[in-house]
Amino acid sequence: MTETDDKPHGSKFSGRVGWGRRPALVVVDLVHAYVDADSPFALPGINSAIEATEALTNVARQSGLSVIWTDVVYHDDMSNAGLFYKKVPGLSVYAANAPGRAGQLVLKPEAEDLRVTKQYASAFFGTSLASTLHAAEVDTVVICGVSTSGCIRATATDALNHGFRPQVVRDACADRNAELHESNLRDLDAKYADVCSLGEAVQHLSAVP
């Protein structure tokens, strides 16, 4: 077996897209549905990802960079959830008037931050995010939030499809177990994005003129 741990798909994969000149931070679905213990989407050990995300938002703002927060909201009858709702019935917690705080952001955005509401996994699908970022001359999308195997993966893949350089911050993402988290990070790093540490992301965000 010739494949190595750092190149699980072989030598023809795992190139680098690198960092461009104008990054933006996209915080994906960091809402109470993934934090509250009684939620069907609750993730274990998510606190470290929340702390890392908060550090990223602070650095991005200090550098004058865009911070975008995504959330999920459906009509009360879930009529705009499509087949996604059939596949994942638990999405009903995101109905507009559902009881509880499942759809509320865990961290508080600043007034200048952008909000994107979506109905599917990718922050780009069916939203104006790509147009907004292109208009702001953003070329690099720094991605954090939840979950690694779901909305993070979909957002990173679509970022690449839309011509952005995706940088997924491993310390600022979380999933239902370590195996899902690590295996998806490895696959993303091989095919669709660069996976970086919190320290690397902070270094690049801080260095933007």
One DSSP character per residue, 70-120 reads EEE-B-TT-TTSHHHHHH-GGGGGGBTT-SSSTTSBSSPPPTTSEEEEESS
Which entry of 144, 151, 173, 196 is annotated as an active-site residue?
A: 151
DSSP sequence for 157-206: HHHHHTT-EEEEEEEEEE-SSHHHHHHHHHHHHHHT-EEE-HHHHHHHHH
Cα 112 to Cα 4: distance, rounded to the nearest angstrom: 44
Q: Tell me which DSSP letter residue 62 carries.
A: H
Round to whole Å and give the CA distance between 74 and 111: 24
- CA-CA distance, 85 to 7, in Å (whole number)? 35
Measure the CA–CA gap between 176 and 149, rounded to whole angstroms: 9
Please check whether residue 121 is in contact with residue 145, taking contact to mean a CB–CB distance below 8 angstroms.
no
Q: Is 196 a catalytic residue?
A: no
Q: Kindly report whether the peptide bond that precedes residue 11 is cis, defined as omega within 30 degrees of 0.
A: no
Active-site positions read 151
